[in-house]
Amino acid sequence: MMAAMHSPMTLPTEVARAAPDRIEAVGWGAFVGPETARPGLELDTGWCEKRRFRAKPGDKLITPGEGGRADVVLGFGDRGQVSAATLRLAGAAFARSTGEAKTIALDLSGISDLGIGAELAVGAAIEGFWGARYRFTRYHAGDPDPLESLTIVVAAEEVAPAERGLERGRVIADATRLARDLSNEPAGALTPVQLAEVAVEIATRCGLEVTVLDEAAIAEAGLGGLLGVAAGSVQPPRLIKLVYDPPAALASKWPDGTVPTVALVGKGITFDSGGLSLKTPEGMLTMKTDMSGAADVIATLGACRALGVAVRVVGLAPTAENMPGGRATKPGDVLKIRNGKTIEVVNTDCEGRLVLADGLSLAAEEEPDCIVDLATLTGACVVALGSRIAGLMGNDDRVIAAIHAASERAGEPTWPLPLPDAYRSDIDSEVADMKNQGKRAAGTITAALLLQEFVADRPWAHLDIAGPSRSDEDSGEFRKGSTGFGVRTLLELLGSYEPLNSPAAGAAGGKVIA
């Protein structure tokens, strides 16, 4: 059973008022300007300049300390502008600077004096640290992480909030690590059936309701898009549904007793060959990560209870392989989706929108307060926004604004794109309600316009994570490979969620068209 591929982090990590006596590396912050170092430690500014250390966020400088200890100086930027993003970069830089050290400490004492609370600061630092420390070593022989303990040093009055931040940061980092593990797993080792097994194990461990539909149940449910994509593969498809219901103590926060539901839908193509519209060999190299949206949804649901999420969350992951077998869907075939609408398949490599159409139809039937889907959907989005920013589209300004704000707080950049009705004709079909690919221009938008056909009247937003779901290099908090992009944004959204009929959610919504 594939669930054994991932287990929660168990490395000893603690908050303390001082670093342990025997420590091999300690990190501390320095600022831009004349007051570069913290009190009691001095930096030779000339020496720093020669080594191009300017104390900007993400900068690091390793200096010899007492008794062979390494002092890692971390850039905190301008003293008055320290933020969660600053601490994530500092945590990541520290993780990359400790080498083979077994016992390390990160000194954040007095961090509250900089205008950022200890809880937020420590949580962000832990996210950055474990993000950069992450390594996918399942297939490496004898390559363990040497680290044995991490101590976060804070002032006495900061201990309690720092401990809360440490726990929250650990849970979020672990959820992100799960998403990365799943997306980094070779497609031959993580089929749709095996991904469903992982989801069942996560549900059991994290107190979730779980339902898995096999191919017979998928056919009975009328999920024609999912069946059509899976038709060419010997690996059968699965529809994974996870449900998180908040405990009564959390649900009681809603004054009218009605707990809002948020539906999350993630694209789960465990390998995308392109089908009969075959990709190039180079184009297939990273297609094991085409299930990053589903991985994000599974990981997010798994963290909801530990983070005290107060809304009901329904997670749906339609999962399949897209292969060019003898029974594969052909260009020109027509598929009927769960909600009764039909799609002409003009390009079998535009398969993600076909499985999402079924997933979104099921999500709409839950009558949620809103629907959010995540998908490595279009190369066009990478062309438009690059590899660090996700495209954000939808049919309701309030949902888009809430996700955009959550992504900014979470340090996962998104950028709203328009969704104009004028482009809907680009996916008109002669033989069906629509076709699965429009013109070359505005490919990200026309893909989202197709998805919009399957959300009924529910407020909805779509995140195209094709760019930031994978990193091609070790940079900042990321290692080469899957990034788990989207998990932090979803958890931030759920943790701060305001129902759309609430005054706090803003004015009445509508389509973003410009």
Residue 96 is a catalytic residue: no
Ramachandran bin of 140, using left for φ above 0, alpha for ψ from -120 to 50, beta for the remaining angles? beta
CA distance 202 to 196: 10
Q: Are 165 and 127 in contact (CB under 8 A)?
A: no
Give the pLDDT score at 491.
98
Nearest to 348 by CA among 206, 503, 232, 182: 232
Give the pLDDT score at 120.
97
pLDDT in tens, the chain (514 residues): 444 556 666 677 899 999 988 899 999 998 876 555 554 455 667 777 778 888 899 999 998 888 889 999 999 998 889 999 999 999 999 999 998 999 999 999 999 999 999 999 999 999 999 999 999 988 988 778 899 999 999 999 999 999 999 999 999 999 999 999 999 999 999 999 999 999 999 999 999 999 999 999 999 999 999 999 999 999 999 999 999 999 999 999 998 889 999 999 999 999 999 999 999 999 999 999 999 999 999 999 999 999 999 999 999 999 999 999 999 999 999 999 999 999 999 999 999 999 999 999 999 999 999 999 999 999 999 999 999 999 999 999 999 999 999 999 999 999 999 999 999 999 999 999 999 999 999 999 999 999 999 999 999 999 999 999 999 998 889 999 999 999 999 999 999 999 987 655 544 344 443 3
Give the pLDDT score at 502.
63
Q: Where in the chain is the domain with CATH 3.40.630.10?
A: 185-505
Q: Mention every residue, 6+ apart, whose C-beta is less than 8 A from residue 121.
A: 82, 84, 87, 108, 111, 112, 162, 165
CATH superfamily of 185-505: Zn peptidases (3.40.630.10)
Instruction: Supply the CATH classification number for the domain 2-173.
Output: 3.40.220.10
pTM for this predicted structure: 0.95
CA distance 270 to 288: 6
Token pair recorded at residue 276: 């009969």
Residue 479 is a catalytic residue: no
Catalytic residue from among 353, 409, 435, 479: 353
The one-letter amino acid code at 482 reads S
Spatial strand order of the sheet with 149-153 comes to 13-16, 149-153, 103-107, 25-30, 70-75, 60-64
Give the pLDDT score at 257.
81
Nearest to 355 by CA among 265, 245, 445, 453: 265
Catalytic residue from among 54, 279, 424, 511: 279
